Structure formats: structure tokens, C-alpha cells
Chain A
Amino acid sequence: MKSPSCLLFNKLHTRFSEDQLRPWEKAFCERHSQKCMDCRELGDTLDLALNLLKDHAYEFEGSDDFEENVIRQWRVEKDKPTVWAYWSPSLIGAAVAAIALLAILQVLAATPQTPNYNAKGQEARRSTSHIPDFPGFPTDLNTR
């Protein structure tokens, strides 16, 4: 199993190469890598791997028509109608139709006013005009 100082070196060594360590950490790493062969190898392998990575950086600048492509796409996007511009004729048509429908409904609903039969102080009265006059029979049925 690794010693505590190897574990500490493991924790610090990834920042060792770029001077991100405090002075005591740096001194510890230097001292430890001189003493411990495994840890020195570990540091060397990391340097090797990272150098390989840096050596294989892409140096590709893009194709010659890069700018043209971007500008062409930009023009296409700019000229493309927006959602509002695309739907506005339909929306305006729908709004006009809705207003017209409401107006028609208003006109149809405005019928002549019906008389109010429940006016206060009045009551329904039965017609007695068709009843013949009999002696002793009350002519006014409503007063019974």
C-alpha cells in the first residue's frame, strides 16, 4: 500500500508542472520524487502523456469559404419570415371574423322588449265575458 507521503504526492503532482503549488507543496514534491521511484515515474508519465497531447493539437483553420458560408446562412436566417409575419394574415382574418360574429350575435339578441306581466299592484284576472248571466249566480268570479 502507498505511504501517506505518496498519497499526498498523488494529490499534488497534477498541479506540480504548472507552478500551481504553494512553496511547501512544491518543495515536498521535489523531495519526494527524488526519494520515491514510483512517484517519480508517475510524474514523468503524466508529463509524457500531456506533452503528447499538446504535440497533437489541431492546426486546422477551417475551409476557405468559411466566412462566405456563415454570411450566407445569416442572410437566409435574416430573410426567413418570423413567426408573427408568417401567421399575421391568418390572425388578422380570425380577429375580423370574431368581431363580425359578435356583432351579428348582438343584433340577433336585440329583440323588441316583451311586456312585463308581473308589474307590481296587478294580478291575473280571469275573463268572464263568455259566462251568461244567471240569476243568483255571481257574475264576477274573481271576487269569490
Chain B
Amino acid sequence: MVEARVLSQSSPETAAEELRWLSRCREGDESALAALISRHRRRLVYVAANVLRDRHEAEDVAQEAFLKAFRELHKLRDDRAFASFLYRICVRLCLDRLRSRRAEPAEFDRVQPCDGPHVESRVLIEKLLDTMTPDLRTTLVLREMEQLSYEEVAELMRVPVGTVRSRLHTARDRFRKLYLDATSEAR
């Protein structure tokens, strides 16, 4: 199962190791680059896949996020904030993708392996999330699926905590109504 926290720092040794990798990255050391990718890749793909509900697009976005983060490494003032810097880029890219694909009809990611009764509920989840606005959808996913704190969601989405609170209320309420409508239709 996914880890509980994305942005909070891990052990001091791990944090120090990451700082060393970052300074080597600035010097163009590719092994440090690879180390950073392998540390954050899993989590970053999870976040993108859950927000976008499409594994191919999620992988693209995660790769793009890494490249953008490395390209803009000079903008990072505090190296200890690299994780939030990286995830913020990823969430922003996800939001851009969601906004650009809104006009298109909802499409179920057929590549995701699942069978039996799970298929129906997965299709339902995709359908419900697709009817929500990108901001509400992303807030809901980051809080409910990624288990991020309100502060972490606010940091990733670059909005005040109060906005996260109100968006989350709206998103949950809308999700519940959509779920109720969808399940009563099916009956």
C-alpha cells in the first residue's frame, strides 16, 4: 500500500543523502540524477496515475516532471524542499492535462489490469471522477487516495489551506451525490 506521507522528510541520513545527490546533480552527475529518480519515481507515478487515471499519461507526466525539476533546479532555494518542488511540478502538469482533456469524452483506461466485479466499480470511479472539475478531482485524490494532509495538499496545489478545506467539502459532497445517482440508476 502507498506510504502515508509524500512531502514530509524521511530520516536525517536519507535527507542528507538527497542533499548530496542534489549538489552532484547541479554538477551534471548522471548517477545522482538516477538516484533521485529511483527514490521518487514510484511515488510520483502513483500520484499522477491516481489523479489522471491513466497509466500511460501518468508515466509521461512523471517523466516530464523529473525533467522540468532538473532543468529548474537553479530555482530551488532550499534543497530540503526538493520533494515538494518535484511533486508540485507533477501536480501542476496533471492539472494541465486534465484541463486540456476536459472536452474529450471520458475514456476508461483499459490497460489497468483488473477483473471480475472490480471492473464495474473501477469504471464507475473513472466516470465519477471525470465529471468533476480538475481542481476538485485533484484535491479529492490527493487527500483521499494519497492521504496527504491539508497543508500538503495546499502546498502542492499552491492554494491556501482554507481553499483546500472548502474544495474538499464540495468534492466529497459532489462525489457522494454522483455515486448515489450512478448506483440508483444501475439498480
Q: Which chain A residues have a beta carbon within 8 Å of chain B's beta carbons?
A: 10-11, 14-15, 42, 45-46, 48-50, 52-63, 66-67, 69-71, 73-75, 77-78
Contacts and interface: CB of A to CB of B under 8 A. Distances in A.
A70 B38 CA distance: 11
5 contacts: A49-B180, A52-B179, A57-B46, A57-B145, A62-B62
Contacts of B38: 67
The 10 closest A-B pairs by CB, nearest first: A49-B179, A58-B49, A14-B172, A62-B45, A46-B176, A57-B145, A60-B55, A14-B169, A56-B125, A67-B37
Contacts, number: 102
A22 to B, nearest CB: 14
Contact of A60 (B49, B70, B121): B49
A11 to B, nearest CB: 8
B63 A70 contact: yes
Interface residues of B, number: 43
A46 B66 CA distance: 36
B145 A70 contact: no
Contacts of B173: 10, 14, 46
A73 B169 CA distance: 40
Contacts of B145: 53-54, 57
Contacts of A15: 165, 169
B28 interface: yes
B43 to A, nearest CB: 9
A42 B176 contact: yes
Nearest to B42: A61
The dominant DSSP class at the A interface is: helix
A62 B176 contact: no
A42 to B, nearest CB: 7
A107 to B, nearest CB: 48
B34 interface: yes
Contacts of A49: 128, 175-176, 179-180
B58 A58 contact: yes
A141 B58 CA distance: 104
Contact of A71 (B34, B112, B172, B175): B34
B50 A58 contact: yes
Contacts of B180: 45, 49
A61 B50 contact: no
B96 interface: no
Which of A42, A56, A73 gathers most chain B CB within 10 Å?
A56
Contact of B33 (A14, A46, A74): A74
A128 B59 CA distance: 103
Nearest to B147: A54
A60 B112 CA distance: 9
B107 interface: no
Contacts of A52: 121, 124-125, 179
